[in-house]
Amino acid sequence: MTTKTSYQKYDAAKMARAAGKDLSISTKDSIEIGNVIRYMDVDKAKAYLEKVVQIKQVVPMRRFNRDTGHKHGPYSAGRYPVNAAKDMLAVLKSAEANAKDKGLSHLYITHVAANRAAGGYHHGRQRGVTFKRSHLEIVVRESTKKGKQKDEKSGEKLNKAAPAATPEQKQEKKSAPQKKKTETKRAETPAGEQQ
């Protein structure tokens, strides 16, 4: 059975995904968290979500911020959506595990979607009131950035950049542009005037 996803550019060779269906969390909180962690490195996103669960990191509320109080820091409004952060963290860890099964490394989050799910009704005296439920989808991708790599044997960082210039080469680079500037000044002044 295939499931529909909201991400259309999925490449199975370079990406991995995970989804959570009918989670008992607020859709609005999930959207706000998703806007923060989108395009973030997976390790940084996991650390961020763990801080939110511990109530040490504020999630800025930029869209669904009506009657939301200001929090300390550069945010105009924010909250600590602990339940949504817990479920988002679980789905993110699942996506990371799926990527590691494929042999992908250096992951970042490409796509985060939170959609409203069908809410069941409460029972008893709360009848007529529905549950908050959401669907989550996270897609991670292998990063193609070529950063500093480490030598496997010695553990030293390898830098594939060009070798450092010698002092003589640096001096030549500094003096070459200065000569051009003085030549252009002489050419601009008329022959009868002196500098």
pLDDT digits (tens, 9 = 90+) for 18-36: 999 999 999 999 999 999 9
50 domain residue, yes or no? yes
67 domain residue, yes or no? yes
Model confidence at 142: pLDDT above 80:
yes
- Domains of the chain: total: 1
172 domain residue, yes or no? no
Cα 192 vs. chain centroid, distance in angstroms? 64
Comparison of pLDDT for 10 and 159, the residue scoring more: 10
Residue 68 C-beta-side C-alpha neighbours within 13 Å: 20
Predicted TM-score (pTM) of this structure? 0.71
5 domain residue, yes or no? no
194 domain residue, yes or no? no
Model confidence at 149: pLDDT above 90:
no
Read off the CATH number of the domain in which 116 is found: 3.90.470.10
Short-list 140, 158, 160, CA closest to 149:
158
Sheet holding 107-116, edge to edge: 15-23, 134-142, 107-116
Beta carbons within 8 Å of 20's beta carbon, 6+ residues apart: 87, 90, 91, 135, 136, 137
134 domain residue, yes or no? yes
3-class secondary structure, 168: helix
126 domain residue, yes or no? yes
Query: What mean pLDDT is predicted for residues 179-193?
Result: 56
75 domain residue, yes or no? yes
Return the pLDDT at 159.
47
Convert the pLDDT of each residue in 40-85 to its tens digit: 999 999 999 999 999 999 999 999 999 988 888 887 899 999 999 9
Positions of E strands within the chain: 15-23, 59-60, 78-79, 107-116, 134-142, 149-150, 157-158
Return the pLDDT at 17.
94
**Average pLDDT across the chain, whole number:** 83
Q: What is the pLDDT confidence band of residue 7, given thresholds at 50, 70 and 90?
A: confident
- Give residue 20's domain range: 15-142
Convert the pLDDT of each residue in 154-168 to its tens digit: 455 554 445 556 666
How many other CB atoms sit within 10 Å of the CB of residue 27? 20
